[in-house]
């Protein structure tokens, strides 16, 4: 709690704390809204200073960089017209109309140089409130029909311009203090984009770029992009023969090939074992459900128009939906008989396949698909059990992360926006109880957390896990959500100790999120070098020539009998070629057998990425193998 005179800006607050802090302040969150750091605060407010370390801080930085790029474009290509220039998760773009002038990546260097030159001038981003009439007059004179089009939808009295150097843009902001914060620039891509996304409109040129406050960060980012290309799960999925897509089957519907299916099954049984230990009970429900089920759940009303359309039967009026979520089915399982408080929590788990219609342009490998399997479970519990259940789910999620080598994660606690209570259903007391339960559970488990107000679902607060992969990218994986809505809609009840009817709380949770997305992230995280226990092929047996096939087969059978999986490369190829191929397929161990090995009843072992481990007996290899598995799980 600090006191300042009316009209003090966030930047002045930062300065009053320390100059070092002020140098890093990009903008500020004032009562939950992101503002220019220079904007005067007129009333009591909660103020959060935003730096490069905040997602919102980065967004302001990148959006301001879009203005900087526009300024450079206007200087280099006079007469350029501008559409919109938003920040992205990484970087920014601006849609521009060069009026028919040729434009390609060859022009990038000149624009980057110009941007850096303008950045050095440290021009302030100046906010100016302007009347609609004056704003229209400005862009009429400039001849920018896109800004005029945007202005049409804006309300007089709420329009602002932002000006830096010689460039003025129609924008609601906010922006960083001045262009000097931008120290490194890279334009990344150029593509066509219809104005307002409508193909009836003119095609504009979309230029993508990214900027940083330090040159070193740009270098690191470019290195990461290179690495990401090598690790792209779509590329590795093909090379390792894990999954494929077929136009005939349909877009966004992955086909799991034998090796991918094996990987998936291993992951499933790993989690199933952990879940049984944690008191979950498996259930199985169909892939479709009557439309009425989704009318009750509310999905029909909220998503019906944008999802796969109803399946009709020969009976008039009979309609089914492809299952978009497993929860409604599980609610009906809960309702199959009366429940007592003594049997709660009831934990119903299902690897349930769901179908959601995504626009074809949104589809991406395994991370955005139209059919996917959730490692879903629903916990039905009493309100006083929410915290303990949360703790248990956190334990499970962390066990999964540890077993799969995700060591760097944070948890986001998503709470309701205290100023928009009308957005949320359920009683205030319940919300508070559940929010506290999540906060306490996360603290008890020692999680590194960030709290976001206003990010809760309308039906309850939640906890999301953000995982950093081996090359520093963040992915949202596991999620745990409290839900007050579905128990109401399905009128779920239990008989309490007081012999009265009560409503249970429902917790949705999925440690992986979905099998498809999780495997995509896992592939990119470990670059296809799966932990030994998970590898589809754990070993490759490579006979030096046909003479040793019998011995190789004997070894394969012995290993298969104790559940060590692998292939026997019986092709008539040179051993060097067989080794290379096994390396490309990232098979963890190669067992090479020739005359000497057969005579001594041994195998020559090569480890992927490490090379020759020498010749040992099969039993020695098995204990080496088992040791590696037991230390990684």
Q: Known catalytic residues?
A: 327, 356, 374, 376, 378, 462, 508
Binding mask 108-147 for Zn ion (x = CB under 5 A): ----------------------------------------
323 binds Zn ion (CB under 5 A): no
User: Which tokens go with 553?
Assistant: 């087969």
**Residue from 508, 517, 586, 606 in contact with Zn ion (CB under 5 A):** 508
* Stretch of residues binding Zn ion (CB under 5 A), selected from 282-290, 323-331, 349-357, 385-393: 323-331
- Please, what is the minimum distance in Å from the beta carbon of residue 5 to Zn ion? 29
Q: In what order do the strands lie in the sheet with 319-322?
A: 288-290, 319-322, 311-312
Span from 163-171, 300-308, 360-368, 539-547 in contact with Zn ion (CB under 5 A)? 163-171
Q: Tell me the window of 322-330, 400-408, 516-524, 550-558 that interacts with Zn ion (CB under 5 A).
A: 322-330
Contact 82, 70 (CB under 8 A): yes
Residue showing the smallest CB distance to Zn ion in the complex: 171
186, two tokens = 């890279």
Residue 489 in contact with residue 301, Cβ under 8 Å?
no
Q: Which of 46, 51, 6, 62 is nearest to 27 (CA)?
A: 51
Q: Between 485 and 604, whose beta carbon lies closer to Zn ion?
A: 485
Cis peptide before 174 (omega within 30 of 0): yes
245 or 465: CB nearest Zn ion? 465
- We find the least distance from the C-beta atom of residue 326 to Zn ion, in angstroms, to be 6
C-beta of 171 vs 210, nearer to Zn ion = 171
Spell out the SS3 assignment of 103-121.
CCHHHHHHHHHHHHHHHHC
Binding region for Zn ion (CB under 5 A) out of 48-56, 90-98, 319-327, 527-535:
319-327
Between 263 and 325, name the residue whose CB sits nearer to Zn ion.
325
Choose among 393, 387, 455, 378: nearest CA to 420.
455
Can you list the alpha helix ranges (DSSP code H) found in 241-314?
258-277, 291-297, 299-303
Closer to Zn ion at the Cβ: 476 or 623?
476
Q: In what order do the strands lie in the sheet with 167-170?
A: 126-129, 160-164, 167-170
Least distance from Zn ion to the Cβ atom of residue 437, Å: 18
Question: Which residue, 385 or 604, has its beta carbon nearer to Zn ion?
Answer: 385
Task: Identify the DSSP state of 460.
Answer: B
Minimum distance of Zn ion from residue 439's CB (angstroms): 22
Ramachandran category for residue 426: left, alpha or beta (phi over 0 → left; psi -120 to 50 → alpha): left
- Nearest to Zn ion of 434, 539 (CB atom): 434
Window of 34-42, 128-136, 171-179, 343-351 that interacts with Zn ion by CB under 5 A: 171-179
Strands 346-355 and 281-282: parallel
In the complex, least distance from residue 513 CB atom to Zn ion, rounded to whole angstroms:
12
- Given candidates 49, 171, 322, 377, which one binds Zn ion under the rule CB under 5 A? 171
Give least dist CB 85 to Zn ion, A.
7
* Separation CA 618–CA 621 (nearest Å): 5
| Neighbour-count burial of 614, counting CB atoms closer than 10 A to its CB (0-12 exposed, 13-18 middle, 19+ buried) | exposed
Tell me the torsion sign for CA atoms 422, 423, 426, 429: negative
Q: At closest approach, how far in Å is the CB of 298 from Zn ion?
A: 12
| Cβ 406 to Zn ion shortest distance, Å | 23
Minimum Å gap between C-beta 283 and Zn ion is: 13
Of 11, 210, 327, 519, the residue at the interface with Zn ion (CB under 5 A) is 327
Q: Choose the stretch contacting Zn ion; rule: CB under 5 A; options: 72-80, 309-317, 427-435, 500-508.
A: 500-508
- Judged by beta carbon, residue 58 or residue 602, the one nearer Zn ion is 58
At 344, list the tokens.
């709660």
Q: Helices 386-403 & 428-444, crossing angle to 10 degrees?
A: 40
User: What does the per-residue mask of binding to Zn ion show for 217-256, with x meaning CB under 5 A?
Assistant: ----------------------------------------
Smaller CB separation from Zn ion, 332 or 583: 332
User: Which residue lies nearer to Zn ion by CB, 68 or 413?
Assistant: 68
- The size of the interface with Zn ion (CB under 5 A), counted in residues, is 3
- Name which of 368, 351, 112 is nearest 253 in CA terms: 368
What is d(CA 253, CA 237) in angstroms, rounded to the nearest whole number? 14
Beta bridge partners of 9: 40
Dihedral sign, Cα of residue 177, residue 178, residue 184, residue 190: positive
CA distance 264 to 266: 5
CA gap 170, 138 in Å, rounded: 10
The answer to whether the CB of 454 falls within 8 A of the CB of 416 is yes
The residue range among 29-37, 114-122, 320-328, 608-616 that interacts with Zn ion, by the rule CB under 5 A, is 320-328
Give me the least distance between CB of 169 and Zn ion, in Å please.
Answer: 6
Backbone angles phi and psi of 205, in degrees to 5: -100, 120
Residue 374 phi/psi, 5° resolution?
-90, 145
DSSP letters, 372-413, are EEEEEEEEEE-GGGHHHHHHHHHHHHHHHHHHTT--EEEEEE
Binding site for Zn ion (CB under 5 A): 171, 327, 508
């Amino acid at each position: 709690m600090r006191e300042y005179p009316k009209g003090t800006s966030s930047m002045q607050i930062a300065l009053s704390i320390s100059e070092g802090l002020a140098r890093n302040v990009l903008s500020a969150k004032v009562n939950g809204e992101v503002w220019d750091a220079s904007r005067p605060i007129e009333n009591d407010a909660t103020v959060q200073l935003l730096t490069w370390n905040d997602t919102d801080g980065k967004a302001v930085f990148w959006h301001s960089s879009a203005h900087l790029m526009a300024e450079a474009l206007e200087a280099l290509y006079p007469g350029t017209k501008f559409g919109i220039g938003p920040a992205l998760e990484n970087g920014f773009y601006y849609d521009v109309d060069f009026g028919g002038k040729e434009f390609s990546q060859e022009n990038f260097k000149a624009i980057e140089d110009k941007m850096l030159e303008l950045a050095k001038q440290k021009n302030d981003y100046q906010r100016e409130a302007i009347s609609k009439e004056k704003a229209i007059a400005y862009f009429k004179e400039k001849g920018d029909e896109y800004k005029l089009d945007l202005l049409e939808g804006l309300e007089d009295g709420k329009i602002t311009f932002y000006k830096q150097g010689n460039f003025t843009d129609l924008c609601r902001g906010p922006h960083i203090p001045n262009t000097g914060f931008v120290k490194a620039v890279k334009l990344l891509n150029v593509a066509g984009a219809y104005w307002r996304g409508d193909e009836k409109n003119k095609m504009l040129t979309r230029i993508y770029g990214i900027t940083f406050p330090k040159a070193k960060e740009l270098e690191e980012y470019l290195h990461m992009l290179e690495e990401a290309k090598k690790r792209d799960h779509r590329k590795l999925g093909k090379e390792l023969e894990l999954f494929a897509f077929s136009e005939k089957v349909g877009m966004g519907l992955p086909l799991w090939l034998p090796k991918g299916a094996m990987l998936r099954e291993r992951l499933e049984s790993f989690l199933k074992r952990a879940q049984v230990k944690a008191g979950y009970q498996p259930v199985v429900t169909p892939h479709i459900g009557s439309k009425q089920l989704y009318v009750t759940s509310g999905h029909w009303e909220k998503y019906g128009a944008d999802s796969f359309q109803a399946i009709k039967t020969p009976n008039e009026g009979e309609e089914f939906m492809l299952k978009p979520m497993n929860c409604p089915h599980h609610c009906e399982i809960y309702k199959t008989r009366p429940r007592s408080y003594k049997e709660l929590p009831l934990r119903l788990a299902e690897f349930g396949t769901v179908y959601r219609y995504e626009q074809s342009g949104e589809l991406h490998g395994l991370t955005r698909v139209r059919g996917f399997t959730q490692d879903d479970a629903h916990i039905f519990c009493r309100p006083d059990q929410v915290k303990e259940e949360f703790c248990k789910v956190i334990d499970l999620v962390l066990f999964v992360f540890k077993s799969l080598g995700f060591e760097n994660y944070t948890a986001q606690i998503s709470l309701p926006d205290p100023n928009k209570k009308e957005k949320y259903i359920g009683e205030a007391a319940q919300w508070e109880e559940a929010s506290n339960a999540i906060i306490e559970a996360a603290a008890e488990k020692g999680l590194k957390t960030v709290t976001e107000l206003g990010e809760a679902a309308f039906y309850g607060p939640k906890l999301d896990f953000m995982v950093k992969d081996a090359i520093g990218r963040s992915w949202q994986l596991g999620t745990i959500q409290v839900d007050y809505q579905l128990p109401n809609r399905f009128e779920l009840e239990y008989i309490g100790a007081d012999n009265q009817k009560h409503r249970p709380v429902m917790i949705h949770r999925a440690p992986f999120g979905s099998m498809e997305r999780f495997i995509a992230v896992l592939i990119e995280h470990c670059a296809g070098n799966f932990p030994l226990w998970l590898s589809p092929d754990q070993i490759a047996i490579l006979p030096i020539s046909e003479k040793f096939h019998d011995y190789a087969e004997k070894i394969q059978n012995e290993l298969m009998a104790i559940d060590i999986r692998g292939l026997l490369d019986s092709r008539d190829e040179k051993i060097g070629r067989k080794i290379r191929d096994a390396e490309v397929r990232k098979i963890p161990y190669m067992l090479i057998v020739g005359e000497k090995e057969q005579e001594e009843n041994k195998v020559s072992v090569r480890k992927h990425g490490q090379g020759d481990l020498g010749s040992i007996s099969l039993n020695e290899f098995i204990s080496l193998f088992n040791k590696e598995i037991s230390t990684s799980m």
